Amino acid sequence: MRDGNWKLVAAAFLASQCLTLVGSSAVQMAIAWYVAVETSSGAWAAAMLVAGFVPQMAVSPFAGAWIDRRGFRKAAIIAADAVSAATALALAVFLATSFGDMAALVAASSVRSLCAGVQMPAVQSSVAILVPEEALLRYNGIVSAVQNVAQFAAVPLAALTLSFGGISSAMLLDVVTAAVAVGVLAVAVKLPRVEATSCALSQEKAGLFEDVREGARYARDERAVGFVLASYGAFIFLSVPSGFFVPLLMERAFDASYAMLAFAEGAGCFSMVVGGVVLAAFADRMKGVALPLGLITYGAGSMGVGLATGCPLFLVGLVVLSAAIPLVQAAVTAHLQSFVDPAMMGRVFGFMGSMYAGLMPLGSLLFGLLADGAPAWTLPALCGAAVALLGVMFLPRMISSHRREAGCFK
Protein backbone atom coordinates (compact mmCIF):
# COMPACT_ATOMS: atom_id res chain seq x y z
CA MET A 1 0.00 0.00 0.00
CA ARG A 2 2.86 2.42 0.71
CA ASP A 3 6.23 3.03 -0.91
CA GLY A 4 9.45 4.26 0.64
CA ASN A 5 8.53 7.88 -0.07
CA TRP A 6 5.47 7.89 2.17
CA LYS A 7 6.85 10.74 4.27
CA LEU A 8 7.10 13.03 1.23
CA VAL A 9 3.63 12.07 0.05
CA ALA A 10 2.17 12.54 3.54
CA ALA A 11 3.88 15.95 3.82
CA ALA A 12 2.40 17.03 0.47
CA PHE A 13 -1.02 15.80 1.61
CA LEU A 14 -0.72 17.80 4.84
CA ALA A 15 0.40 20.90 2.95
CA SER A 16 -2.61 20.74 0.66
CA GLN A 17 -5.01 20.39 3.59
CA CYS A 18 -3.43 23.26 5.49
CA LEU A 19 -3.73 25.53 2.46
CA THR A 20 -7.41 24.64 2.30
CA LEU A 21 -7.77 25.26 6.03
CA VAL A 22 -6.25 28.75 5.86
CA GLY A 23 -8.67 29.86 3.16
CA SER A 24 -11.77 28.20 4.58
CA SER A 25 -11.06 29.43 8.12
CA ALA A 26 -10.52 32.98 6.91
CA VAL A 27 -13.79 32.88 4.97
CA GLN A 28 -15.68 31.42 7.93
CA MET A 29 -14.40 34.17 10.22
CA ALA A 30 -15.05 36.89 7.64
CA ILE A 31 -18.64 35.75 7.14
CA ALA A 32 -19.29 35.60 10.89
CA TRP A 33 -17.80 39.06 11.44
CA TYR A 34 -19.62 40.53 8.44
CA VAL A 35 -22.99 39.23 9.60
CA ALA A 36 -22.38 40.50 13.14
CA VAL A 37 -21.37 43.99 11.99
CA GLU A 38 -23.97 44.42 9.25
CA THR A 39 -27.01 43.01 11.07
CA SER A 40 -26.34 42.98 14.84
CA SER A 41 -29.01 40.28 14.74
CA GLY A 42 -29.12 37.21 16.91
CA ALA A 43 -31.50 35.58 14.43
CA TRP A 44 -29.02 35.88 11.56
CA ALA A 45 -26.19 34.69 13.80
CA ALA A 46 -28.28 31.63 14.73
CA ALA A 47 -29.06 31.03 11.05
CA MET A 48 -25.35 31.09 10.23
CA LEU A 49 -24.63 28.64 13.06
CA VAL A 50 -27.27 26.22 11.76
CA ALA A 51 -26.04 26.61 8.17
CA GLY A 52 -22.45 26.01 9.21
CA PHE A 53 -23.04 22.75 11.11
CA VAL A 54 -26.33 21.01 10.31
CA PRO A 55 -25.55 20.14 6.66
CA GLN A 56 -22.19 18.65 7.68
CA MET A 57 -23.85 16.65 10.44
CA ALA A 58 -26.45 15.29 8.01
CA VAL A 59 -24.22 14.41 5.07
CA SER A 60 -21.05 13.14 6.76
CA PRO A 61 -22.15 9.52 7.48
CA PHE A 62 -23.47 9.10 3.93
CA ALA A 63 -20.34 10.63 2.45
CA GLY A 64 -18.27 8.19 4.50
CA ALA A 65 -20.40 5.28 3.28
CA TRP A 66 -19.97 6.37 -0.34
CA ILE A 67 -16.21 6.70 0.14
CA ASP A 68 -16.05 3.20 1.63
CA ARG A 69 -18.06 1.82 -1.27
CA ARG A 70 -16.28 3.56 -4.15
CA GLY A 71 -12.86 4.24 -2.66
CA PHE A 72 -12.42 7.55 -4.49
CA ARG A 73 -10.94 9.43 -1.55
CA LYS A 74 -8.72 11.74 -3.56
CA ALA A 75 -11.53 12.57 -5.97
CA ALA A 76 -13.86 13.29 -3.05
CA ILE A 77 -11.36 15.70 -1.47
CA ILE A 78 -10.73 17.51 -4.76
CA ALA A 79 -14.44 17.71 -5.55
CA ALA A 80 -15.27 19.10 -2.09
CA ASP A 81 -12.53 21.73 -2.38
CA ALA A 82 -13.61 22.66 -5.91
CA VAL A 83 -17.30 23.01 -5.04
CA SER A 84 -16.49 25.04 -1.93
CA ALA A 85 -14.20 27.35 -3.92
CA ALA A 86 -16.78 27.71 -6.71
CA THR A 87 -19.39 28.65 -4.11
CA ALA A 88 -17.05 31.27 -2.66
CA LEU A 89 -16.36 32.66 -6.14
CA ALA A 90 -20.08 32.86 -7.00
CA LEU A 91 -20.74 34.55 -3.66
CA ALA A 92 -17.93 37.05 -4.26
CA VAL A 93 -19.39 38.00 -7.64
CA PHE A 94 -22.90 38.25 -6.19
CA LEU A 95 -21.86 40.41 -3.24
CA ALA A 96 -19.78 42.66 -5.50
CA THR A 97 -22.86 43.44 -7.57
CA SER A 98 -25.45 43.72 -4.80
CA PHE A 99 -25.66 44.92 -1.23
CA GLY A 100 -24.95 42.24 1.41
CA ASP A 101 -27.76 39.74 0.95
CA MET A 102 -27.68 37.69 4.16
CA ALA A 103 -29.72 34.88 2.64
CA ALA A 104 -26.97 34.35 0.06
CA LEU A 105 -24.41 34.08 2.85
CA VAL A 106 -26.54 31.49 4.64
CA ALA A 107 -26.96 29.49 1.43
CA ALA A 108 -23.24 29.62 0.71
CA SER A 109 -22.40 28.54 4.25
CA SER A 110 -24.76 25.58 3.86
CA VAL A 111 -23.02 24.45 0.67
CA ARG A 112 -19.60 24.85 2.28
CA SER A 113 -20.81 22.83 5.28
CA LEU A 114 -21.92 20.03 2.95
CA CYS A 115 -18.46 20.06 1.37
CA ALA A 116 -16.84 19.82 4.81
CA GLY A 117 -19.04 16.81 5.53
CA VAL A 118 -17.64 15.07 2.45
CA GLN A 119 -14.06 16.16 2.94
CA MET A 120 -13.57 15.19 6.59
CA PRO A 121 -14.12 11.41 6.28
CA ALA A 122 -12.19 11.37 2.99
CA VAL A 123 -9.18 13.11 4.53
CA GLN A 124 -9.03 11.12 7.76
CA SER A 125 -9.48 7.76 6.05
CA SER A 126 -6.77 8.71 3.55
CA VAL A 127 -4.23 9.25 6.32
CA ALA A 128 -4.59 5.62 7.39
CA ILE A 129 -3.57 4.62 3.85
CA LEU A 130 -0.63 7.02 3.57
CA VAL A 131 0.94 6.69 7.03
CA PRO A 132 2.21 3.46 8.67
CA GLU A 133 0.36 2.48 11.83
CA GLU A 134 3.38 3.02 14.06
CA ALA A 135 3.68 6.63 12.85
CA LEU A 136 0.00 7.63 13.08
CA LEU A 137 0.17 9.25 16.54
CA ARG A 138 3.25 11.31 15.61
CA TYR A 139 1.74 12.34 12.27
CA ASN A 140 -1.53 13.44 13.88
CA GLY A 141 0.44 15.44 16.45
CA ILE A 142 2.22 17.24 13.62
CA VAL A 143 -1.13 17.76 11.87
CA SER A 144 -2.59 19.32 15.01
CA ALA A 145 0.34 21.73 15.45
CA VAL A 146 0.38 22.78 11.80
CA GLN A 147 -3.39 23.20 11.63
CA ASN A 148 -3.39 25.43 14.70
CA VAL A 149 -0.71 27.60 13.08
CA ALA A 150 -2.84 27.75 9.91
CA GLN A 151 -5.96 28.74 11.84
CA PHE A 152 -3.99 31.37 13.75
CA ALA A 153 -2.73 32.79 10.44
CA ALA A 154 -6.29 32.89 9.11
CA VAL A 155 -7.31 35.49 11.71
CA PRO A 156 -5.19 38.43 10.43
CA LEU A 157 -5.84 37.34 6.83
CA ALA A 158 -9.59 37.56 7.40
CA ALA A 159 -9.25 40.90 9.18
CA LEU A 160 -7.03 42.43 6.50
CA THR A 161 -9.06 41.26 3.51
CA LEU A 162 -12.33 42.27 5.13
CA SER A 163 -10.99 45.69 6.16
CA PHE A 164 -9.32 46.65 2.89
CA GLY A 165 -11.16 44.64 0.26
CA GLY A 166 -14.55 43.87 1.71
CA ILE A 167 -16.39 40.58 1.95
CA SER A 168 -15.88 39.78 -1.75
CA SER A 169 -12.10 39.85 -1.36
CA ALA A 170 -12.33 37.47 1.59
CA MET A 171 -14.26 35.02 -0.60
CA LEU A 172 -11.57 35.22 -3.28
CA LEU A 173 -8.92 34.27 -0.72
CA ASP A 174 -10.60 30.89 -0.38
CA VAL A 175 -10.65 30.47 -4.15
CA VAL A 176 -6.90 31.05 -4.42
CA THR A 177 -5.92 28.75 -1.54
CA ALA A 178 -8.27 26.00 -2.74
CA ALA A 179 -6.82 26.16 -6.26
CA VAL A 180 -3.27 25.76 -4.97
CA ALA A 181 -4.31 22.98 -2.57
CA VAL A 182 -6.09 21.04 -5.31
CA GLY A 183 -3.04 21.40 -7.55
CA VAL A 184 -0.71 20.03 -4.86
CA LEU A 185 -3.04 17.13 -4.09
CA ALA A 186 -3.57 16.24 -7.74
CA VAL A 187 0.11 16.29 -8.68
CA ALA A 188 2.02 15.21 -5.57
CA VAL A 189 -0.28 12.74 -3.80
CA LYS A 190 -1.21 9.27 -5.02
CA LEU A 191 -3.79 7.42 -2.96
CA PRO A 192 -4.14 3.68 -3.60
CA ARG A 193 -7.67 2.32 -3.48
CA VAL A 194 -8.63 0.13 -0.55
CA GLU A 195 -9.82 -3.29 -1.67
CA ALA A 196 -13.34 -4.05 -0.51
CA THR A 197 -13.77 -6.89 1.99
CA SER A 198 -15.99 -9.86 1.27
CA CYS A 199 -18.63 -8.34 3.55
CA ALA A 200 -18.57 -5.07 1.64
CA LEU A 201 -18.76 -6.89 -1.69
CA SER A 202 -21.77 -8.86 -0.55
CA GLN A 203 -23.57 -5.57 0.21
CA GLU A 204 -22.62 -3.85 -3.02
CA LYS A 205 -26.23 -3.74 -4.19
CA ALA A 206 -27.46 -2.26 -0.93
CA GLY A 207 -28.20 1.42 -0.68
CA LEU A 208 -26.30 4.07 1.22
CA PHE A 209 -28.79 3.94 4.09
CA GLU A 210 -27.99 0.26 4.60
CA ASP A 211 -24.28 1.05 4.39
CA VAL A 212 -24.68 3.67 7.11
CA ARG A 213 -26.63 1.24 9.30
CA GLU A 214 -23.91 -1.36 8.78
CA GLY A 215 -21.33 1.19 9.85
CA ALA A 216 -23.35 1.98 12.99
CA ARG A 217 -23.57 -1.73 13.82
CA TYR A 218 -19.84 -2.06 13.32
CA ALA A 219 -19.13 0.86 15.68
CA ARG A 220 -21.50 -0.64 18.24
CA ASP A 221 -20.08 -4.15 18.07
CA GLU A 222 -16.39 -3.18 17.96
CA ARG A 223 -15.99 -1.90 21.49
CA ALA A 224 -12.50 -0.55 20.76
CA VAL A 225 -14.15 1.76 18.22
CA GLY A 226 -17.50 2.50 19.83
CA PHE A 227 -16.05 3.44 23.20
CA VAL A 228 -13.62 5.91 21.61
CA LEU A 229 -16.37 7.49 19.50
CA ALA A 230 -18.68 7.85 22.51
CA SER A 231 -15.88 9.34 24.59
CA TYR A 232 -15.00 11.78 21.80
CA GLY A 233 -18.62 12.90 21.64
CA ALA A 234 -18.72 13.39 25.41
CA PHE A 235 -15.49 15.39 25.25
CA ILE A 236 -16.80 17.69 22.50
CA PHE A 237 -20.00 18.34 24.44
CA LEU A 238 -18.35 18.86 27.83
CA SER A 239 -15.57 21.08 26.45
CA VAL A 240 -17.98 23.79 25.28
CA PRO A 241 -18.07 25.86 28.53
CA SER A 242 -14.29 26.15 28.85
CA GLY A 243 -13.44 25.97 25.16
CA PHE A 244 -15.94 28.37 23.62
CA PHE A 245 -17.13 30.65 26.44
CA VAL A 246 -13.73 32.13 27.34
CA PRO A 247 -14.70 35.74 26.46
CA LEU A 248 -17.91 35.45 28.48
CA LEU A 249 -16.12 33.94 31.47
CA MET A 250 -13.39 36.58 31.44
CA GLU A 251 -15.84 39.45 31.09
CA ARG A 252 -17.98 38.23 33.97
CA ALA A 253 -15.17 37.35 36.36
CA PHE A 254 -12.55 39.98 35.57
CA ASP A 255 -14.29 42.68 33.49
CA ALA A 256 -11.80 41.86 30.73
CA SER A 257 -10.72 44.41 28.15
CA TYR A 258 -10.29 43.67 24.44
CA ALA A 259 -6.53 43.47 25.01
CA MET A 260 -6.98 40.83 27.72
CA LEU A 261 -9.31 38.81 25.49
CA ALA A 262 -6.86 38.98 22.59
CA PHE A 263 -3.99 37.91 24.82
CA ALA A 264 -6.02 34.97 26.14
CA GLU A 265 -6.92 33.82 22.62
CA GLY A 266 -3.30 34.12 21.52
CA ALA A 267 -2.05 32.21 24.55
CA GLY A 268 -4.55 29.44 23.92
CA CYS A 269 -3.57 29.11 20.25
CA PHE A 270 0.13 29.05 21.07
CA SER A 271 -0.45 26.43 23.75
CA MET A 272 -2.28 24.19 21.26
CA VAL A 273 0.66 24.44 18.86
CA VAL A 274 3.04 23.49 21.68
CA GLY A 275 0.84 20.56 22.64
CA GLY A 276 0.93 19.23 19.09
CA VAL A 277 4.70 19.64 18.86
CA VAL A 278 5.26 17.85 22.19
CA LEU A 279 3.03 14.97 21.11
CA ALA A 280 4.88 14.65 17.80
CA ALA A 281 8.26 14.68 19.57
CA PHE A 282 7.36 12.07 22.20
CA ALA A 283 4.78 10.01 20.31
CA ASP A 284 6.58 6.71 20.88
CA ARG A 285 6.56 7.20 24.65
CA MET A 286 2.94 8.43 24.76
CA LYS A 287 1.27 5.57 22.92
CA GLY A 288 -1.41 4.11 25.13
CA VAL A 289 -1.54 7.11 27.47
CA ALA A 290 -1.95 10.13 25.17
CA LEU A 291 -5.76 10.05 25.19
CA PRO A 292 -6.36 9.56 28.94
CA LEU A 293 -3.54 11.99 29.70
CA GLY A 294 -5.12 14.56 27.39
CA LEU A 295 -8.57 14.11 28.95
CA ILE A 296 -7.25 14.36 32.52
CA THR A 297 -5.12 17.39 31.65
CA TYR A 298 -8.00 19.12 29.89
CA GLY A 299 -10.28 18.42 32.84
CA ALA A 300 -7.75 19.85 35.27
CA GLY A 301 -7.32 22.96 33.14
CA SER A 302 -11.09 23.42 32.82
CA MET A 303 -11.52 23.14 36.58
CA GLY A 304 -8.70 25.67 36.95
CA VAL A 305 -10.51 28.06 34.62
CA GLY A 306 -13.71 27.72 36.64
CA LEU A 307 -12.15 27.96 40.09
CA ALA A 308 -9.52 30.65 39.33
CA THR A 309 -9.50 33.51 41.81
CA GLY A 310 -7.62 35.89 39.54
CA CYS A 311 -6.85 36.48 35.88
CA PRO A 312 -3.30 34.97 36.02
CA LEU A 313 -4.64 31.69 37.40
CA PHE A 314 -7.42 31.75 34.80
CA LEU A 315 -4.83 32.07 32.03
CA VAL A 316 -2.81 29.19 33.50
CA GLY A 317 -5.89 26.98 33.37
CA LEU A 318 -6.61 28.12 29.81
CA VAL A 319 -3.05 27.31 28.70
CA VAL A 320 -3.22 23.86 30.33
CA LEU A 321 -6.51 22.87 28.73
CA SER A 322 -5.44 24.28 25.35
CA ALA A 323 -2.26 22.19 25.38
CA ALA A 324 -4.37 19.09 26.04
CA ILE A 325 -6.65 19.55 23.02
CA PRO A 326 -4.11 18.23 20.45
CA LEU A 327 -3.45 15.19 22.65
CA VAL A 328 -7.14 14.28 22.68
CA GLN A 329 -7.81 15.01 19.01
CA ALA A 330 -4.67 13.34 17.69
CA ALA A 331 -4.99 10.30 19.96
CA VAL A 332 -8.65 9.71 19.03
CA THR A 333 -7.88 10.05 15.32
CA ALA A 334 -4.80 7.82 15.45
CA HIS A 335 -6.63 5.20 17.52
CA LEU A 336 -9.47 4.97 15.00
CA GLN A 337 -7.09 4.95 12.05
CA SER A 338 -5.27 2.02 13.66
CA PHE A 339 -8.24 -0.06 14.83
CA VAL A 340 -10.97 0.46 12.23
CA ASP A 341 -11.41 -1.99 9.36
CA PRO A 342 -10.25 -0.14 6.20
CA ALA A 343 -13.59 -0.96 4.55
CA MET A 344 -15.38 0.90 7.39
CA MET A 345 -12.96 3.81 7.75
CA GLY A 346 -15.03 6.37 5.84
CA ARG A 347 -18.21 5.62 7.78
CA VAL A 348 -16.52 5.76 11.17
CA PHE A 349 -14.96 9.12 10.43
CA GLY A 350 -18.28 10.24 8.97
CA PHE A 351 -19.87 9.49 12.33
CA MET A 352 -17.06 11.38 14.04
CA GLY A 353 -17.65 14.42 11.83
CA SER A 354 -21.38 14.30 12.51
CA MET A 355 -20.79 14.11 16.24
CA TYR A 356 -18.64 17.22 16.18
CA ALA A 357 -21.01 19.15 13.90
CA GLY A 358 -24.00 18.21 16.04
CA LEU A 359 -22.73 18.23 19.61
CA MET A 360 -20.73 21.45 19.45
CA PRO A 361 -23.69 23.73 18.53
CA LEU A 362 -25.99 21.70 20.81
CA GLY A 363 -23.58 22.25 23.69
CA SER A 364 -23.30 25.93 22.82
CA LEU A 365 -27.08 26.30 22.90
CA LEU A 366 -27.61 24.34 26.12
CA PHE A 367 -24.68 25.71 28.09
CA GLY A 368 -25.32 29.20 26.73
CA LEU A 369 -28.80 29.14 28.25
CA LEU A 370 -27.51 27.70 31.52
CA ALA A 371 -24.71 30.28 31.69
CA ASP A 372 -27.26 33.09 31.97
CA GLY A 373 -28.69 31.64 35.16
CA ALA A 374 -25.67 30.05 36.82
CA PRO A 375 -22.48 31.44 38.41
CA ALA A 376 -19.71 31.78 35.84
CA TRP A 377 -17.42 29.21 37.48
CA THR A 378 -19.85 26.30 37.76
CA LEU A 379 -20.06 25.09 34.16
CA PRO A 380 -16.32 24.87 33.31
CA ALA A 381 -15.52 23.42 36.75
CA LEU A 382 -18.21 20.74 36.69
CA CYS A 383 -17.68 19.83 33.04
CA GLY A 384 -13.92 19.73 33.64
CA ALA A 385 -14.39 17.29 36.49
CA ALA A 386 -16.49 15.08 34.20
CA VAL A 387 -13.81 15.15 31.46
CA ALA A 388 -11.09 14.26 33.99
CA LEU A 389 -13.20 11.36 35.28
CA LEU A 390 -13.60 10.16 31.70
CA GLY A 391 -9.82 10.19 31.34
CA VAL A 392 -9.38 8.15 34.52
CA MET A 393 -11.89 5.60 33.19
CA PHE A 394 -10.04 5.51 29.88
CA LEU A 395 -6.56 4.90 31.33
CA PRO A 396 -6.69 1.11 31.87
CA ARG A 397 -8.48 0.58 28.55
CA MET A 398 -5.91 2.49 26.53
CA ILE A 399 -2.95 0.86 28.26
CA SER A 400 -4.51 -2.53 27.57
CA SER A 401 -5.15 -1.67 23.93
CA HIS A 402 -1.55 -0.57 23.52
CA ARG A 403 -0.28 -3.89 24.85
CA ARG A 404 -2.58 -6.16 22.91
CA GLU A 405 -3.78 -6.45 19.33
CA ALA A 406 -6.88 -4.78 17.86
CA GLY A 407 -10.10 -6.21 19.21
CA CYS A 408 -8.76 -6.37 22.74
CA PHE A 409 -11.98 -4.91 24.22
CA LYS A 410 -14.09 -7.84 23.07
Task: Give the Cα separation of 328 and 279 in Å (integer).
Answer: 10
For the chain, the maximum distance between any two Cα atoms, rounded to a whole number of angstroms, is 62
Q: Decide which of 1.20.1250.20, 3.40.630.30, 1.20.1560.10, 3.30.300.30 is the CATH code for 1-137+146-186.
A: 1.20.1250.20
Q: Decide which of 1.25.40.80, 1.20.1250.20, 3.40.50.170, 1.10.1740.10 is the CATH code for 203-405.
A: 1.20.1250.20
Per-residue pLDDT tens over the stretch 257-297: 767 877 887 888 899 999 999 999 999 888 878 899 999 99
Check: CB of residue 182 under 8 Å from CB of residue 86. Answer: no
Q: How far is C-alpha 104 from the chain's CA centre?
A: 25
pTM: 0.85
Check: CB of residue 350 under 8 Å from CB of residue 62. Answer: yes
CATH 1.20.1250.20 spans which residues of the chain? 1-137+146-186, 203-405
Per-residue pLDDT tens over the stretch 345-398: 999 999 999 999 999 888 888 888 887 777 777 899 999 999 999 999 877 766
Residue 155 banded pLDDT, cuts 50, 70, 90: confident
Please list, in sequence order, all residues whose beta carbon lies within 8 angstroms of the beta carbon of residue 78, skipping any fewer than 6 positions away: 182, 185, 186
Q: How many Cα atoms occupy the beta-carbon half-sphere of 286 within 13 Å?
A: 29
